[in-house]
Structure 1
Amino acid sequence: MITIPDVSQTSYTFLSLGDSYTIGESVAETDRWSVQLAGMLRKDDVAVVDPDIIAHTGWTTAELQDAIKASGNQKTYGLVSLLIGVNNQYRGQDQERYRTEFRELIQTATKFAGGKAEHVFVLSVPDWGASPFAAGRDKTKIAREIDQFNAVAKDECQRAGIAYVDITSLSRSATGDNTQFASDSLHYSGKQMKQWAEKALPIAKDLLKK
Protein backbone atom coordinates (compact mmCIF):
# COMPACT_ATOMS: atom_id res chain seq x y z
CA MET A 1 0.00 0.00 0.00
CA ILE A 2 1.33 3.41 -0.99
CA THR A 3 0.75 6.21 1.48
CA ILE A 4 0.82 9.85 0.49
CA PRO A 5 2.58 11.99 3.11
CA ASP A 6 0.28 14.48 4.82
CA VAL A 7 2.03 17.83 4.61
CA SER A 8 -1.05 19.90 5.42
CA GLN A 9 0.54 20.80 8.76
CA THR A 10 4.00 21.33 7.32
CA SER A 11 6.39 23.18 9.58
CA TYR A 12 9.31 23.59 7.18
CA THR A 13 9.91 25.04 3.75
CA PHE A 14 12.98 24.22 1.67
CA LEU A 15 14.95 26.16 -0.95
CA SER A 16 17.51 24.45 -3.18
CA LEU A 17 20.03 26.62 -5.05
CA GLY A 18 22.43 25.47 -7.74
CA ASP A 19 23.03 24.38 -11.32
CA SER A 20 22.32 21.28 -13.42
CA TYR A 21 22.98 18.96 -10.48
CA THR A 22 20.20 20.64 -8.52
CA ILE A 23 17.66 21.10 -11.31
CA GLY A 24 18.27 17.47 -12.26
CA GLU A 25 19.28 17.80 -15.90
CA SER A 26 18.00 14.85 -17.98
CA VAL A 27 16.11 13.23 -15.08
CA ALA A 28 12.52 13.34 -13.86
CA GLU A 29 11.58 16.00 -11.31
CA THR A 30 10.98 13.29 -8.73
CA ASP A 31 14.60 12.13 -9.17
CA ARG A 32 16.14 15.47 -8.23
CA TRP A 33 18.30 14.96 -5.16
CA SER A 34 16.56 17.70 -3.15
CA VAL A 35 13.10 16.34 -3.98
CA GLN A 36 14.27 12.89 -2.91
CA LEU A 37 15.66 14.39 0.29
CA ALA A 38 12.34 16.05 1.12
CA GLY A 39 10.62 12.70 0.66
CA MET A 40 13.13 10.99 2.93
CA LEU A 41 12.59 13.63 5.61
CA ARG A 42 8.84 13.09 5.47
CA LYS A 43 9.32 9.34 5.80
CA ASP A 44 11.26 10.10 8.97
CA ASP A 45 8.33 12.17 10.26
CA VAL A 46 9.96 15.52 9.52
CA ALA A 47 7.27 17.70 7.97
CA VAL A 48 8.76 19.49 4.98
CA VAL A 49 7.40 20.37 1.55
CA ASP A 50 9.18 19.69 -1.74
CA PRO A 51 11.78 22.38 -2.38
CA ASP A 52 11.52 25.58 -4.29
CA ILE A 53 14.42 25.44 -6.75
CA ILE A 54 16.50 28.22 -8.26
CA ALA A 55 18.90 26.38 -10.54
CA HIS A 56 19.73 25.98 -14.21
CA THR A 57 22.11 23.92 -16.29
CA GLY A 58 25.37 25.75 -16.97
CA TRP A 59 25.19 28.33 -14.21
CA THR A 60 28.34 29.52 -12.49
CA THR A 61 28.34 31.17 -9.07
CA ALA A 62 27.88 34.61 -10.62
CA GLU A 63 25.02 33.48 -12.85
CA LEU A 64 23.23 31.85 -9.93
CA GLN A 65 23.53 35.03 -7.89
CA ASP A 66 22.17 37.10 -10.79
CA ALA A 67 19.26 34.67 -11.20
CA ILE A 68 18.43 34.85 -7.50
CA LYS A 69 18.28 38.62 -7.70
CA ALA A 70 16.17 38.48 -10.86
CA SER A 71 13.75 36.03 -9.24
CA GLY A 72 12.59 38.60 -6.72
CA ASN A 73 12.17 35.80 -4.17
CA GLN A 74 11.73 37.37 -0.73
CA LYS A 75 10.64 34.24 1.13
CA THR A 76 12.27 32.84 4.23
CA TYR A 77 12.88 29.09 4.43
CA GLY A 78 13.42 26.56 7.18
CA LEU A 79 16.12 24.80 5.16
CA VAL A 80 18.37 26.05 2.35
CA SER A 81 20.83 24.04 0.25
CA LEU A 82 23.57 25.20 -2.12
CA LEU A 83 25.43 23.13 -4.74
CA ILE A 84 27.46 25.22 -7.20
CA GLY A 85 30.89 25.38 -8.81
CA VAL A 86 31.22 22.74 -11.51
CA ASN A 87 30.73 25.29 -14.28
CA ASN A 88 33.32 27.60 -12.75
CA GLN A 89 35.76 24.70 -13.00
CA TYR A 90 34.57 23.65 -16.47
CA ARG A 91 35.06 27.16 -17.86
CA GLY A 92 38.50 27.48 -16.34
CA GLN A 93 37.64 30.28 -13.92
CA ASP A 94 40.13 30.89 -11.11
CA GLN A 95 39.53 29.75 -7.56
CA GLU A 96 39.86 33.17 -5.94
CA ARG A 97 36.97 34.44 -8.03
CA TYR A 98 35.03 31.37 -6.99
CA ARG A 99 35.86 32.04 -3.34
CA THR A 100 34.53 35.59 -3.50
CA GLU A 101 31.35 34.65 -5.37
CA PHE A 102 30.76 31.52 -3.29
CA ARG A 103 31.08 33.55 -0.09
CA GLU A 104 28.44 35.94 -1.40
CA LEU A 105 26.16 33.00 -2.23
CA ILE A 106 26.37 31.48 1.24
CA GLN A 107 25.51 34.91 2.62
CA THR A 108 22.52 34.99 0.28
CA ALA A 109 21.53 31.47 1.31
CA THR A 110 21.74 32.50 4.96
CA LYS A 111 19.42 35.44 4.30
CA PHE A 112 16.91 33.02 2.76
CA ALA A 113 17.21 31.00 5.98
CA GLY A 114 16.16 34.01 8.03
CA GLY A 115 19.75 34.81 8.93
CA LYS A 116 20.29 31.36 10.45
CA ALA A 117 23.50 29.84 9.10
CA GLU A 118 22.64 26.69 11.03
CA HIS A 119 19.73 26.09 8.64
CA VAL A 120 21.94 26.14 5.53
CA PHE A 121 23.97 23.29 4.08
CA VAL A 122 26.30 22.98 1.10
CA LEU A 123 26.93 19.94 -1.07
CA SER A 124 30.36 19.48 -2.60
CA VAL A 125 30.76 19.58 -6.38
CA PRO A 126 30.48 16.13 -8.02
CA ASP A 127 33.32 15.03 -10.30
CA TRP A 128 32.04 15.06 -13.87
CA GLY A 129 35.30 13.39 -14.89
CA ALA A 130 33.74 10.14 -13.66
CA SER A 131 31.07 10.33 -16.38
CA PRO A 132 31.07 8.58 -19.76
CA PHE A 133 30.99 12.08 -21.30
CA ALA A 134 34.52 12.66 -20.00
CA ALA A 135 36.03 9.78 -21.99
CA GLY A 136 39.23 11.02 -23.59
CA ARG A 137 39.51 13.99 -21.21
CA ASP A 138 42.26 14.52 -18.65
CA LYS A 139 40.38 13.00 -15.73
CA THR A 140 43.27 13.47 -13.32
CA LYS A 141 43.29 17.21 -14.03
CA ILE A 142 39.51 17.42 -13.70
CA ALA A 143 39.60 15.61 -10.36
CA ARG A 144 42.41 17.79 -9.05
CA GLU A 145 40.60 20.99 -9.98
CA ILE A 146 37.28 19.74 -8.55
CA ASP A 147 39.10 18.99 -5.29
CA GLN A 148 40.60 22.47 -5.27
CA PHE A 149 37.22 24.14 -5.78
CA ASN A 150 35.70 21.95 -3.09
CA ALA A 151 38.49 22.88 -0.68
CA VAL A 152 37.58 26.53 -1.18
CA ALA A 153 33.89 25.84 -0.56
CA LYS A 154 34.59 23.76 2.54
CA ASP A 155 36.84 26.46 3.95
CA GLU A 156 34.22 29.16 3.40
CA CYS A 157 31.55 26.96 5.01
CA GLN A 158 33.72 26.42 8.07
CA ARG A 159 34.29 30.16 8.36
CA ALA A 160 30.56 30.85 8.12
CA GLY A 161 29.43 27.99 10.38
CA ILE A 162 27.59 26.21 7.56
CA ALA A 163 27.26 22.44 7.24
CA TYR A 164 29.21 20.86 4.38
CA VAL A 165 28.23 17.53 2.81
CA ASP A 166 30.86 15.70 0.76
CA ILE A 167 29.21 13.89 -2.16
CA THR A 168 32.23 14.00 -4.49
CA SER A 169 33.43 10.56 -3.46
CA LEU A 170 29.95 9.18 -4.19
CA SER A 171 30.05 10.65 -7.68
CA ARG A 172 33.44 9.07 -8.33
CA SER A 173 32.19 5.68 -7.21
CA ALA A 174 29.74 5.77 -10.14
CA THR A 175 32.57 5.31 -12.65
CA GLY A 176 31.76 2.47 -15.03
CA ASP A 177 28.15 2.08 -13.89
CA ASN A 178 25.93 3.57 -16.59
CA THR A 179 22.83 3.20 -14.42
CA GLN A 180 24.19 6.02 -12.27
CA PHE A 181 24.26 8.44 -15.18
CA ALA A 182 21.46 10.16 -17.06
CA SER A 183 20.76 9.60 -20.75
CA ASP A 184 23.09 12.46 -21.75
CA SER A 185 26.06 10.49 -20.28
CA LEU A 186 27.19 13.60 -18.36
CA HIS A 187 24.73 14.22 -15.58
CA TYR A 188 23.86 11.82 -12.82
CA SER A 189 20.76 9.66 -12.63
CA GLY A 190 18.21 9.51 -9.85
CA LYS A 191 20.01 6.42 -8.58
CA GLN A 192 23.20 8.37 -7.90
CA MET A 193 21.32 11.42 -6.60
CA LYS A 194 19.49 9.18 -4.14
CA GLN A 195 22.89 8.56 -2.56
CA TRP A 196 23.44 12.32 -2.27
CA ALA A 197 20.08 12.69 -0.56
CA GLU A 198 20.89 9.83 1.81
CA LYS A 199 24.22 11.46 2.69
CA ALA A 200 22.51 14.80 3.35
CA LEU A 201 19.58 13.32 5.28
CA PRO A 202 21.07 13.10 8.80
CA ILE A 203 22.61 16.54 8.44
CA ALA A 204 19.34 18.10 7.25
CA LYS A 205 17.47 16.45 10.12
CA ASP A 206 19.99 17.81 12.59
CA LEU A 207 19.81 21.32 11.13
CA LEU A 208 16.03 21.39 11.41
CA LYS A 209 16.30 20.68 15.14
CA LYS A 210 18.32 23.85 15.68
Structure 2
Amino acid sequence: MVCMRVPVFGLMLLMLIGCGKKNEFIPARDTAVNNSQTPPVIHPNDSVSYLALGDSYTYGAGVSQSESYPYQLAAQLSSQNYLINSPRVVAFQGWTASDLLAGIKAANVTRKFDLVTLLIGVNDENKGTDFTTYTLQVDQLITQAIEYARGYHSRVFVISIPDWSVTPFAAGMNRAKIKADVATFNSINEAESKKLGASYLDISAISELAANDATLTAGDGLHPSAKMYALWINRVYGDITATFTSN
Protein backbone atom coordinates (compact mmCIF):
# COMPACT_ATOMS: atom_id res chain seq x y z
CA MET A 1 0.00 0.00 0.00
CA VAL A 2 1.04 3.62 -0.19
CA CYS A 3 2.52 3.44 3.28
CA MET A 4 5.45 1.52 1.85
CA ARG A 5 6.47 4.37 -0.43
CA VAL A 6 6.10 7.31 1.97
CA PRO A 7 8.85 9.30 3.78
CA VAL A 8 9.18 9.35 7.53
CA PHE A 9 6.36 10.80 9.55
CA GLY A 10 8.22 13.96 10.49
CA LEU A 11 8.58 14.86 6.84
CA MET A 12 4.90 14.24 6.35
CA LEU A 13 4.03 16.74 9.04
CA LEU A 14 6.31 19.35 7.53
CA MET A 15 4.58 18.91 4.19
CA LEU A 16 1.16 19.02 5.83
CA ILE A 17 1.78 22.20 7.78
CA GLY A 18 4.03 23.92 5.28
CA CYS A 19 3.83 23.94 1.51
CA GLY A 20 1.75 20.83 0.78
CA LYS A 21 -0.63 20.96 -2.14
CA LYS A 22 -3.68 21.60 0.05
CA ASN A 23 -4.51 25.17 1.03
CA GLU A 24 -5.64 26.07 4.52
CA PHE A 25 -9.20 27.36 4.73
CA ILE A 26 -10.31 29.96 7.24
CA PRO A 27 -14.05 29.44 7.71
CA ALA A 28 -16.42 32.38 7.70
CA ARG A 29 -18.54 31.31 10.64
CA ASP A 30 -17.80 31.74 14.33
CA THR A 31 -15.70 29.25 16.27
CA ALA A 32 -18.06 28.61 19.17
CA VAL A 33 -19.02 25.06 20.07
CA ASN A 34 -22.75 24.36 20.47
CA ASN A 35 -23.59 21.08 22.15
CA SER A 36 -27.22 21.19 21.02
CA GLN A 37 -28.24 18.19 18.94
CA THR A 38 -30.14 20.41 16.49
CA PRO A 39 -27.75 22.21 14.15
CA PRO A 40 -28.74 25.46 12.44
CA VAL A 41 -30.30 25.17 9.01
CA ILE A 42 -27.95 25.90 6.11
CA HIS A 43 -29.62 27.31 3.00
CA PRO A 44 -28.14 28.06 -0.41
CA ASN A 45 -26.37 31.44 -0.21
CA ASP A 46 -25.30 30.62 3.36
CA SER A 47 -21.60 30.09 4.13
CA VAL A 48 -20.35 26.53 4.61
CA SER A 49 -16.96 25.71 6.12
CA TYR A 50 -15.52 22.25 5.56
CA LEU A 51 -12.82 20.16 7.25
CA ALA A 52 -11.63 16.92 5.60
CA LEU A 53 -9.67 14.41 7.70
CA GLY A 54 -7.98 11.29 6.37
CA ASP A 55 -5.15 9.68 4.46
CA SER A 56 -4.12 9.51 0.78
CA TYR A 57 -7.72 9.17 -0.38
CA THR A 58 -8.56 12.50 1.23
CA TYR A 59 -5.25 14.10 0.31
CA GLY A 60 -5.86 13.17 -3.30
CA ALA A 61 -2.78 11.11 -4.17
CA GLY A 62 -2.58 10.52 -7.90
CA VAL A 63 -4.86 13.41 -8.90
CA SER A 64 -4.69 17.19 -8.89
CA GLN A 65 -5.95 19.17 -5.91
CA SER A 66 -9.18 20.18 -7.64
CA GLU A 67 -9.86 16.53 -8.54
CA SER A 68 -9.63 15.21 -4.97
CA TYR A 69 -12.95 14.36 -3.38
CA PRO A 70 -12.95 17.18 -0.77
CA TYR A 71 -12.43 19.75 -3.52
CA GLN A 72 -15.00 18.10 -5.77
CA LEU A 73 -17.49 18.17 -2.88
CA ALA A 74 -16.76 21.86 -2.28
CA ALA A 75 -17.20 22.57 -6.01
CA GLN A 76 -20.54 20.76 -6.04
CA LEU A 77 -21.74 22.76 -3.04
CA SER A 78 -20.61 25.96 -4.72
CA SER A 79 -22.50 25.03 -7.90
CA GLN A 80 -25.64 24.82 -5.76
CA ASN A 81 -25.02 28.36 -4.46
CA TYR A 82 -23.58 27.48 -1.06
CA LEU A 83 -20.84 29.94 -0.16
CA ILE A 84 -17.85 27.67 0.38
CA ASN A 85 -14.15 28.31 -0.03
CA SER A 86 -11.35 25.76 -0.26
CA PRO A 87 -11.74 22.99 2.34
CA ARG A 88 -9.26 22.61 5.16
CA VAL A 89 -7.55 19.26 4.59
CA VAL A 90 -5.60 17.37 7.24
CA ALA A 91 -4.45 14.22 5.47
CA PHE A 92 -1.41 12.58 3.93
CA GLN A 93 -0.26 9.43 2.15
CA GLY A 94 0.34 6.40 4.32
CA TRP A 95 -1.41 7.74 7.40
CA THR A 96 -2.97 5.32 9.84
CA ALA A 97 -5.56 6.35 12.42
CA SER A 98 -2.70 6.94 14.85
CA ASP A 99 -0.87 9.11 12.33
CA LEU A 100 -4.01 11.14 11.69
CA LEU A 101 -4.45 11.78 15.41
CA ALA A 102 -0.87 13.04 15.54
CA GLY A 103 -1.35 15.02 12.33
CA ILE A 104 -4.40 16.79 13.70
CA LYS A 105 -2.47 17.72 16.83
CA ALA A 106 0.49 18.99 14.78
CA ALA A 107 -1.79 20.98 12.47
CA ASN A 108 -3.26 22.74 15.53
CA VAL A 109 -6.74 23.09 14.05
CA THR A 110 -8.55 25.42 16.43
CA ARG A 111 -11.49 26.63 14.35
CA LYS A 112 -14.90 25.00 14.01
CA PHE A 113 -16.63 23.89 10.84
CA ASP A 114 -20.10 23.35 9.42
CA LEU A 115 -19.16 20.07 7.80
CA VAL A 116 -16.51 17.43 8.63
CA THR A 117 -15.61 14.27 6.71
CA LEU A 118 -13.39 11.43 7.92
CA LEU A 119 -11.93 8.64 5.77
CA ILE A 120 -9.32 6.52 7.49
CA GLY A 121 -8.26 2.90 7.95
CA VAL A 122 -6.78 1.56 4.73
CA ASN A 123 -3.22 1.79 6.04
CA ASP A 124 -4.28 0.26 9.36
CA GLU A 125 -5.71 -2.63 7.33
CA ASN A 126 -2.51 -2.90 5.28
CA LYS A 127 -0.18 -2.68 8.29
CA GLY A 128 -2.22 -5.04 10.44
CA THR A 129 -3.30 -2.70 13.25
CA ASP A 130 -5.19 -4.81 15.76
CA PHE A 131 -8.93 -4.25 15.83
CA THR A 132 -9.14 -3.15 19.47
CA THR A 133 -6.50 -0.46 19.00
CA TYR A 134 -8.07 0.73 15.76
CA THR A 135 -11.53 0.90 17.32
CA LEU A 136 -10.26 3.10 20.15
CA GLN A 137 -8.43 5.40 17.71
CA VAL A 138 -11.42 5.72 15.38
CA ASP A 139 -13.56 6.52 18.39
CA GLN A 140 -11.14 9.35 19.24
CA LEU A 141 -11.14 10.62 15.65
CA ILE A 142 -14.92 10.68 15.36
CA THR A 143 -15.17 12.39 18.75
CA GLN A 144 -12.69 15.04 17.62
CA ALA A 145 -14.57 15.45 14.34
CA ILE A 146 -17.78 16.09 16.27
CA GLU A 147 -15.99 18.73 18.34
CA TYR A 148 -14.80 20.40 15.12
CA ALA A 149 -18.42 20.35 13.92
CA ARG A 150 -19.46 22.42 16.95
CA GLY A 151 -20.86 19.35 18.66
CA TYR A 152 -23.34 18.58 15.87
CA HIS A 153 -23.06 14.83 15.35
CA SER A 154 -25.15 14.86 12.18
CA ARG A 155 -22.67 17.16 10.43
CA VAL A 156 -19.88 14.56 10.69
CA PHE A 157 -19.60 12.03 7.85
CA VAL A 158 -17.45 8.92 8.07
CA ILE A 159 -16.72 7.62 4.57
CA SER A 160 -16.03 3.93 4.07
CA ILE A 161 -12.62 2.63 2.99
CA PRO A 162 -12.63 1.81 -0.74
CA ASP A 163 -11.96 -1.77 -1.77
CA TRP A 164 -8.45 -1.51 -3.19
CA SER A 165 -8.26 -5.24 -3.86
CA VAL A 166 -9.67 -4.57 -7.33
CA THR A 167 -6.87 -2.19 -8.35
CA PRO A 168 -3.86 -3.06 -10.54
CA PHE A 169 -1.64 -2.38 -7.53
CA ALA A 170 -3.10 -5.45 -5.81
CA ALA A 171 -2.13 -7.79 -8.65
CA GLY A 172 -0.25 -10.76 -7.26
CA MET A 173 -1.54 -10.13 -3.75
CA ASN A 174 -4.21 -12.06 -1.88
CA ARG A 175 -7.16 -10.06 -3.20
CA ALA A 176 -9.73 -12.05 -1.25
CA LYS A 177 -7.96 -11.33 2.03
CA ILE A 178 -7.61 -7.63 1.22
CA LYS A 179 -11.32 -7.42 0.45
CA ALA A 180 -12.25 -9.24 3.65
CA ASP A 181 -9.92 -7.12 5.78
CA VAL A 182 -11.24 -3.86 4.31
CA ALA A 183 -14.78 -5.06 5.08
CA THR A 184 -13.81 -5.76 8.68
CA PHE A 185 -12.29 -2.32 9.19
CA ASN A 186 -15.34 -0.76 7.57
CA SER A 187 -17.59 -2.64 9.97
CA ILE A 188 -15.68 -0.99 12.81
CA ASN A 189 -16.04 2.42 11.16
CA GLU A 190 -19.76 1.92 10.71
CA ALA A 191 -20.31 0.69 14.25
CA GLU A 192 -18.34 3.54 15.83
CA SER A 193 -20.14 6.09 13.65
CA LYS A 194 -23.53 4.83 14.77
CA LYS A 195 -22.43 4.65 18.39
CA LEU A 196 -21.29 8.27 18.38
CA GLY A 197 -24.11 9.63 16.22
CA ALA A 198 -22.08 10.42 13.09
CA SER A 199 -23.26 9.55 9.59
CA TYR A 200 -21.65 6.61 7.80
CA LEU A 201 -21.43 6.89 4.00
CA ASP A 202 -20.64 3.66 2.16
CA ILE A 203 -18.77 4.11 -1.14
CA SER A 204 -17.16 0.67 -1.13
CA ALA A 205 -19.47 -0.83 -3.75
CA ILE A 206 -18.70 2.10 -6.05
CA SER A 207 -14.97 1.55 -5.57
CA GLU A 208 -15.36 -2.01 -6.85
CA LEU A 209 -16.41 -0.69 -10.27
CA ALA A 210 -12.69 -0.12 -10.88
CA ALA A 211 -12.33 -3.87 -11.41
CA ASN A 212 -13.83 -3.47 -14.89
CA ASP A 213 -13.06 0.15 -15.72
CA ALA A 214 -9.43 1.27 -15.82
CA THR A 215 -10.46 4.94 -16.04
CA LEU A 216 -11.62 4.78 -12.42
CA THR A 217 -8.07 4.30 -11.15
CA ALA A 218 -5.35 6.98 -11.15
CA GLY A 219 -2.10 6.55 -13.03
CA ASP A 220 -0.39 5.03 -9.99
CA GLY A 221 -2.62 1.98 -10.31
CA LEU A 222 -3.86 2.30 -6.76
CA HIS A 223 -5.72 5.48 -5.91
CA PRO A 224 -9.05 6.59 -7.37
CA SER A 225 -9.10 8.78 -10.47
CA ALA A 226 -10.97 12.07 -10.65
CA LYS A 227 -13.77 10.16 -12.38
CA MET A 228 -14.05 7.76 -9.45
CA TYR A 229 -14.07 10.59 -6.92
CA ALA A 230 -16.90 12.20 -8.90
CA LEU A 231 -18.90 8.98 -8.48
CA TRP A 232 -18.25 9.19 -4.74
CA ILE A 233 -19.62 12.73 -4.64
CA ASN A 234 -22.70 11.70 -6.60
CA ARG A 235 -23.28 9.02 -3.97
CA VAL A 236 -22.79 11.12 -0.83
CA TYR A 237 -23.89 14.62 -1.84
CA GLY A 238 -27.58 14.14 -1.14
CA ASP A 239 -26.94 12.57 2.26
CA ILE A 240 -24.69 15.46 3.25
CA THR A 241 -26.97 18.28 2.11
CA ALA A 242 -30.00 16.57 3.66
CA THR A 243 -28.50 17.37 7.06
CA PHE A 244 -28.38 21.05 6.19
CA THR A 245 -32.14 21.29 6.73
CA SER A 246 -32.69 18.51 9.30
CA ASN A 247 -30.96 17.17 12.42
Shorter-chain TM-score category? over 0.9
SS at match of 2:243: helix
Q: What are the Cα deviations for residues 134-175 of structure 1, in whole angstroms up to 9, with x where unaligned?
A: 011111100001000000110111111111110111111111
Q: Which residue of the other structure, out of 95, 100, 125, is the alignment partner of 2:136? A: 100
Specify the code of the residue in structure 1 equivalent to 2:143.
Answer: Q
Q: Which residue of the other structure, out of 27, 32, 51, is the alignment partner of 2:87? A: 51
Specify the code of the residue in structure 1 equivalent to 2:111.
Answer: K
Distance 2:158 2:121 in 1: 11
Q: Which deviates more from structure 2 when the two are superposed, residues 103-112 or residues 45-54? A: 45-54
Specify the code of the residue in structure 1 equivalent to 2:91.
Answer: A
- Aligned positions of 1:31-180 closer than 5 A: 31-180=67-216
Distance 2:54 2:170 in 1: 21
How well do the aligned residues superpose, as a CA RMSD in angstroms? 1.3
Q: What are the Cα deviations for residues 9-68 of structure 1, in whole angstroms up to 9, with x where unaligned?
A: 651100000000001001011110111111112222333223110000000001000010
Seq. identity, %: 35
Distance 1:122 1:33 in 2: 13
Distance 1:82 1:91 in 2: 19
Distance 1:23 1:192 in 2: 15
Distance 2:86 2:202 in 1: 22
Specify the code of the residue in structure 1 equivalent to 2:210.
Answer: A
Distance 2:74 2:240 in 1: 10
Aligned 8 A contact 1:16 1:22 in 2 = yes
Distance 1:50 1:202 in 2: 20
Distance 1:47 1:143 in 2: 39
Where does residue 5 of structure 1 map in the other structure?
Answer: none
Distance 1:73 1:159 in 2: 25
Work out whether 1:206 is the aligned partner of 2:229: no
Specify the code of the residue in structure 1 equivalent to 2:47.
Answer: S
Distance apart, 1:183 and its partner CA = 1.0
Aligned 8 A contact 1:60 1:84 in 2 = yes
Specify the code of the residue in structure 2 equivalent to 1:24.
Answer: G
Could you tell me the TM-score, scaled by structure 2's length?
0.79
Could you tell me the TM-score, scaled by structure 1's length?
0.93
Q: What 5-or-longer segments of structure 1 have no aligned partner?
A: 1-7
Work out whether 1:192 is the aligned partner of 2:232: no
Q: What are the Cα deviations for residues 154-199 of structure 1, in whole angstroms up to 9, with x where unaligned?
A: 0111111111110111111111322111111011100001111111
Closer/same/farther in 2, CA of residues 39 and 10 from structure 1, 3 Å limit: same
